[in-house]
């Protein structure tokens, strides 16, 4: 097991983590949290070399992907950098990449009744005004017996400060660009943060920063 204590605050700069081989040649990964080596709950950065592929496989509890670089593909389509995907529980595919790609991937973390297939090209989706000077791009929402899960991109203008707040159901962040900051530290591009249920902080930025953020999902049993 790796980083499976969800009551602990967690920060990893994925840019400094070493790549590890997967069972498929040409596909490497940086494990961030995982229940077991090849099954169960997992969060990882995954890299496909050009002309690499992964065998057809099922997602018993769903798969969530943010394409960070390159073009990710499967038999259903091609997904350039900036694409957000959700493959629901019970789905399957045979992924590959012709030119290579890098992904942020979460496995086996869906509520059992969250059956939506989601494909969002964030390059062509409009930003919406958020609180203060923030801009928000909603990606997914789901209500279950464990609470309200929400996922979005959030763009912070330079110098923005947000009000202090708590995270009911926890908060998870991946820094896409810029540097996200709070009273606990500074988190550059490629940082992954996981904050437990009812944790609190006072976030701000000095430069324009874009983050992927998920909230309300950490009360769900693993």
Kindly list the distances between the CA atom of residue 10 and the CA atoms of 44, 174, 185, in Å, as whole numbers in the listed order: 14, 12, 12
In this structure, whether the domain defined by 126-215 belongs to CATH 3.30.70.120 is answered with no
33-87: per-residue pLDDT in tens? Answer: 999 878 899 999 999 999 999 999 999 999 999 999 999 999 999 999 999 999 9
For domain 10-120, give its CATH number from 3.40.50.300, 2.60.120.10, 2.30.29.30, 3.40.50.1980: 2.60.120.10
Mean pLDDT across the chain, nearest whole number? 96
Rounded Cα gap, residues 142 and 69, in angstroms: 27
- Please tell me if the domain spanning 10-120 has the same topology as the one spanning 126-215: yes
Spell out the domain ranges in the chain. 10-120, 126-215
What 8-state DSSP symbol labels residue 23? S
- Written as six digits, the tokens of 34 are 């995982």
pTM: 0.97
Residue 5 has, within 13 A of its CA and on its CB side, a CA count of 5
């Amino acid at each position: 097991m790796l980083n499976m204590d969800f009551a602990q605050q967690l920060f990893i700069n994925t840019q400094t983590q070493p790549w590890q081989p997967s069972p498929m040649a040409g596909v490497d990964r940086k494990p961030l949290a995982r229940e077991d080596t090849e099954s169960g709950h997992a969060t990882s950065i995954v890299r496909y070399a050009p002309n690499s592929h992964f065998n057809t496989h099922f997602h018993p509890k769903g798969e969530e992907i943010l394409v960070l670089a390159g073009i990710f593909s499967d038999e259903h389509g091609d997904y350039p950098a900036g694409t957000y995907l959700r493959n629901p529980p019970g789905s399957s595919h045979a992924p590959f990449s012709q030119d290579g790609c890098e992904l942020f991937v979460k496995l086996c973390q869906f509520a059992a009744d969250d059956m939506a297939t989601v494909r969002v090209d964030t390059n062509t989706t409009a930003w919406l005004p958020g609180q203060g000077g923030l801009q928000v791009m909603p990606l997914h929402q789901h209500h279950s017996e464990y609470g309200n899960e929400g996922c979005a991109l959030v763009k912070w203008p330079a110098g923005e400060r947000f009000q202090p707040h708590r995270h009911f159901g926890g908060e998870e962040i991946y820094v896409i660009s810029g540097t996200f900051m709070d009273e606990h530290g500074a988190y550059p591009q490629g940082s992954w943060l996981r904050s437990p249920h009812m944790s609190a902080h006072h976030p701000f930025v000095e430069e324009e920063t874009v983050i992927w953020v998920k909230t309300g999902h950490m009360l769900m049993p693993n």
